Amino acid sequence: MKRAAIYVRVSTEAQREEGYSIGAQKEALEAYCVSRSIRPYEFYVDGGFSGSNLKRPAMERMVEDICRDEISHVLVYKLDRLSRSQKDTLHLIEDIFNPHQVTFISLNESMDTGTPMGRLMLGILSAFAQLERENIRERTRMGMQERVREGYWMGGGKIPFGYDYDRKKGILVPNKDAETVRNMYLWYLEGYSPQNIADMTGLRYDRQVVQILNRRTNLGVICYNGKEYPGRHEPIVEPELFDAVALEMERRSDKNQHMAVHLLTGLLRCGYCGAGMRYQKWGKKGHKLVCYSHQKTKAYLIKDPECPQEPVWSFEIEEAVIRDLFHFRLEMEVNEGQASPSAEKELEERCRKVNRKLERLYQLYGEAEVSGEQDEALRKTIETARREREMAEKKLEMEKKRQSISMGRKQMEGKLHRLSDVWNDMSLLEKRMILLSCLEEVEVRGGQVTLRYRDFLSGNQKET
């Protein structure tokens, strides 16, 4: 048989003197039970416990009994005897009492959830509680937005790898792992995979490395609600290095080089129909390269069923590619028109000046009372400033791209230095990393091979 739970709580001597003593509450609640024929009942008494939280012995025992479906009613003298937190009160009623068909009664507020009026009052309390939660959330969001706009870290949550959070200053501070983060970018450009880098740094998964490489916080910015704000923290990597890694990640995404067991997998293209080419075992002599247009089992890869491409020995194509690579030389000096850090800074300052000019013009346009002629002249001035800003931003974007290309060239210079001396000692993976860093595509057309080198190398297409 289920029983009623009479919950009584007193936390201070003052409450006892004000008529909230345990005896007074028991007497009033027991009389109510008798008048309403609510029997049997049991007292749950917390003497000397605050109502600020639910960590009270009798409260916890009562909740356990409710969850075992042993309680039919919960009675309190006043709502604040149950809890002084509206959130906790609604949690008990909505998440504990209601799911177990427990009627809640509060004498002082005349609340009885077993009646329509009691349920209405509960709904009103819930609505006000929800309104308060949303107001708190909105105030928190607005405060966070303003904090981030001023360049401070939003606080809380997970701190990015390579940084510590200085609570006093409210900013991120590079820690001992910052150098490791920078090295991750350099290692990736040298050809190491995310898993290789994870193994080198003691991280558990390759996706952790990818997340770190993609994290724009490392540039000194803060990302919040899909927008970027200049942060007050010190960047770990410069934009040129970050952009170079981003381009390399995009280039590698569809190559799948670490699953390959052949040197040119992912680079081969048929010069007749444009389909990919694959390695196919060809007797005891080795492998031939076959156009996918001749593989009927994979119709989605076929470009031309009548493609005239004949199978060619893979070792012949590989030797031609390696021979060309050994003789390949990068331009050792960056062209005069390429970017320099100082040029980039000048363009950034130019963009800032134009933006400040536009802000002043907008303010003048909004505040000034001018004639029609003056109004038209002001609008033309604003339009000219807009075009000036657009042009400055385009030049800045071009300079950043050139800087990234320059960095890519320097990385490749290091990789190709004395390549022929160490080639035979390299693993297949290391050889593929070199080729994928240099080449976009190897086109085979009969006995002719066309190599398309990456854009930042000297010349982007060679035939051999």
Instruction: Give pLDDT tens digits for 328-345.
Output: 644 433 343 444 556 677
Tell me what percent of the chain is helix, strand and coil, each rounded to the nearest 5: 55, 15, 30
Alpha-carbon distance values, 139 to 165, 218, 457 (Å): 23, 28, 53
Neighbours of 187 (CB within 10 A): 19
Higher pLDDT, 178 or 386: 178
Higher pLDDT, 32 or 93: 32
At residue 371 the predicted structure's pLDDT band, cuts being 50, 70 and 90, is low
11 catalytic residue (yes or no) = yes
Q: Is the pLDDT of residue 97 over 70?
A: yes
Four-CA torsion 344, 349, 353, 358, nearest 10 degrees: 50
Percentage of residues in the chain having pLDDT higher than 70: 80
If you ran DSSP here, which 8-state letter would residue 162 be given? T
Cα(215)–Cα(211) distance, integer angstroms: 6
Mean pLDDT of the 182-210 span: 87
Beta strand extents in 107-150 (DSSP E only): 111-112
Q: Is the pLDDT of residue 420 over 70?
A: no
Lowest mean pLDDT among 75-89, 178-192, 252-266, 382-396: 252-266
Q: Is the pLDDT of residue 35 over 60?
A: yes
- Say if residues 287 and 314 touch (Cβ distance below 8 Å): yes
**Predicted pLDDT of residue 372:** 59
Alpha-carbon distance values, 462 to 225, 259, 319, 321, 448 (Å): 47, 28, 15, 10, 11
- Return the closest-CA partner of residue 122 out of 332, 449, 130: 130
- Tokens representing 239? 């934009």
Higher pLDDT, 199 or 406: 199
At residue 215 the predicted structure's pLDDT band, cuts being 50, 70 and 90, is very high
**Predicted pLDDT of residue 336:** 39
**Predicted pLDDT of residue 72:** 94
- Say if residues 305 and 293 touch (Cβ distance below 8 Å): yes
Catalytic residue among 11, 83, 106, 437: 11
Higher pLDDT, 377 or 74: 74
- Say if residues 29 and 77 touch (Cβ distance below 8 Å): yes
Cα(194)–Cα(201) distance, integer angstroms: 10
At residue 31 the predicted structure's pLDDT band, cuts being 50, 70 and 90, is very high
Q: Is the pLDDT of residue 43 over 90?
A: yes
Higher pLDDT, 378 or 457: 378
**Predicted pLDDT of residue 214:** 93
**Predicted pLDDT of residue 6:** 95
Higher pLDDT, 244 or 400: 244
If you ran DSSP here, which 8-state letter would residue 273 be given? T
pLDDT digits over 432-460, tens only?
A: 877 877 788 899 998 899 988 876 554 44
**Predicted pLDDT of residue 338:** 46
Q: How far is CA 49 from the centre of its chain?
A: 44
Q: Is 256 left (phi over 0), alpha (psi -120 to 50) or beta?
A: left
- Return the closest-CA partner of residue 168 out of 188, 189, 157, 153: 153
**Predicted pLDDT of residue 300:** 77
Higher pLDDT, 253 or 199: 199
**Predicted pLDDT of residue 335:** 41
0.85 surpassed by pTM? no
**Predicted pLDDT of residue 400:** 65
Q: Which secondary structure element, helix H or strand E, spans residue 246, and what is its range?
A: helix 239-252
Residue with tokens 């160490």: 422
At residue 416 the predicted structure's pLDDT band, cuts being 50, 70 and 90, is low
At residue 258 the predicted structure's pLDDT band, cuts being 50, 70 and 90, is very low
**Predicted pLDDT of residue 14:** 53
For residue 447, give the 3-state DSSP assignment: coil
**Predicted pLDDT of residue 71:** 95
